[in-house]
Structure 1
Amino acid sequence: MPPAPQPQLVRVIDLETTGNAPPAHAVIEIGWQDVALGVDGRWELHGEGGRTFVNPNRPIPPVTQAIHHILDEEVADAPQWIDVARQALDPWPRRVALAAHRSNFEEQYCTASFTRNADWICTWKCALRLWPDSPSFSNQVLRYWRKPAGLDHRRGLPIHRAYPDAYVTAHHLRDQLNEASVAQLLAWSAEPGLLPRVRYGPDRGKDWREITDDSLASFLSDRDVDIRFTAETELARRRGGGHVGRASAQELLL
């Protein structure tokens, strides 16, 4: 009897690094947690996940240590990123995509040569679309606002460490995959973030649909790509196409 086929999965990853931008900065820890498609058509967390330290070949700045509390001596004997990345990032051939919360950060380090040109799901961008009523969209605020089913509180701690953060993100991704298709999440992730509320100024906190045309026009040249994209989308809605806010059922089936 042939073995049962292995489930399709999305691998959620989280990185801790020496700073925000390679090549000046480097990875010091990677964590991962898989989310797999079950026989019942529902997505669930799959396996135990994992984590490993990485030697960044440079000192960890004190300001960065203050966030994740990883010490130079803890990574001194760890493997190099080039020896860790492919195995951690590429559970081929079952992997449908990679995912991370604000995946643009991880994508800087997890380049195509390490991922076999994987597609990425950004759970932050998808949360903006699916859960626009959240008071904020950080990994941890979503955790406590949504209270995802099955999330073990202690397993998701400490924050700002690679596996606990990946574990929490995996619960958001699981629920997003059970609300919208993979194709829809990938499509949203390929665009800038669609913000449900104005970030600053006299209209701060308002739904974009509530502000005046003059106020909206002031955001069309904003330096922030997410703000500019949202303002352009709202302008298109006012002219008869597109929308800002919660996606329609039809869109979720894309």
Structure 2
Amino acid sequence: MAISANSARRRIRVIDLETAGSASHSVCEIGWQDVIQETTGRWELDEERGARFVNPGGPISTQTMAIHHIVDEDVAGAPFWKDVAPQVLRPTGGTVALAAHRATFEQRFCLPRLSGGARWICTWKCALRTWPALPSFSNQGLRYERMPTGLDRAVGLPAHRAMPDAYVTAHHLRDMLNASSLEQLLAWSEQPGLLPRVPAGPDRKRPWGELGDDALAGYARDRDMDIRFSAETEQRRRGNQAAVPENAVIQPSLL
């Protein structure tokens, strides 16, 4: 359904963070890419994207430098997180949500007082629901499994830098939004991840539906929230109405 050309277009800001990897594990770079809803109702990438270095308040570990190649000299004169975050997380014109791949990581740093209490979409959790047959659900794995339309290879590189990673994630988000509603993605993101297959152990890679009731009951007691939720969901599908509440468990919000 088309939206009014006179109404403000809905905007979601995709976020990616790189951190120092030291004891404080503080942010050293933030990148973003916006996805907007056109007047036709379809979602597309906007031209708004960027990245900013952040002073992490301490040295970057050499192990982390080897991943993202950000060195101490890059961030020495950069502003601190408390000053950068609100500017990026609360863009002019506002957003209807923030998004990230495995968003619980970004939410550890993008606290409600910095983000304005924005709701989050986790593209990892939504990928589990949207493309359950895929073998990998990492951001880069989805990139090459799916080869999203319009993804400029040069803009999406180097991997493990904040803006290129946010740009790649935004292509996944665009396609998810054009397959499901914004409200559905938000709801999925507020639940644990619904894994399509057992992730580890003797039943690794087996769909939950292939497991016997006893094995399934064991996974329903697992310490991992996503495994437990996935097993309980299969129990419910089999008719065990006590396995999962009718409104599935919502993850506690981060303070």
Which residue pairs with 1:30 in the alignment?
A: 30
- Percent of residue pairs identical: 60
Q: Aligned to 2:108, what secondary structure does the other structure show? A: helix
Q: Aligned to 1:51, what secondary structure does the other structure show? A: strand
**1-structure distance, mates of 2:92, 2:232:** 38
Work out whether 1:7 is the aligned partner of 2:16: no
Work out whether 1:215 is the aligned partner of 2:215: yes
Question: What's the offset of the Cα at 1:63?
Answer: 1.2
**2-structure distance, mates of 1:153, 1:235:** 42
Question: What's the offset of the Cα at 1:196?
Answer: 0.2
**2-structure distance, mates of 1:241, 1:68:** 46
What TM-score, normalized by structure 2, do the two folds share? 0.90
In the TM superposition, structure 1's runs of 4+ consecutive aligned residues that sit over 4 Å from their partners are: none
8 Å CA contact 1:103, 1:121 repeated in 2: yes
When structure 1 is superposed on structure 2, of 147-156 and 91-100 the one drifting more is 91-100
Which residue pairs with 2:189 in the alignment?
A: 189
When structure 1 is superposed on structure 2, of 40-49 and 168-177 the one drifting more is 40-49
Q: 1:209 to 1:92 in 2, by over 3 A?
A: farther
8 Å CA contact 1:6, 1:94 repeated in 2: no
Which residue pairs with 1:137 in the alignment?
A: 137
Structure 1: 5+ residue stretches without partners: 243-254
What amino acid sits opposite 1:239 in the alignment? G
**2-structure distance, mates of 1:143, 1:25:** 27
Question: What's the offset of the Cα at 1:240?
Answer: 6.2
Which residue pairs with 1:67 in the alignment?
A: 67
Which residue pairs with 1:164 in the alignment?
A: 164
The number of aligned residues is 238
Work out whether 1:119 is the aligned partner of 2:119: yes
Q: Deviations over 1:25-64 (max 9, x none)?
A: 2110000000000011100001230000000110001111
**2-structure distance, mates of 1:168, 1:207:** 28
What amino acid sits opposite 1:71 in the alignment? V
Which residue pairs with 1:16 in the alignment?
A: 18
8 Å CA contact 1:36, 1:44 repeated in 2: yes
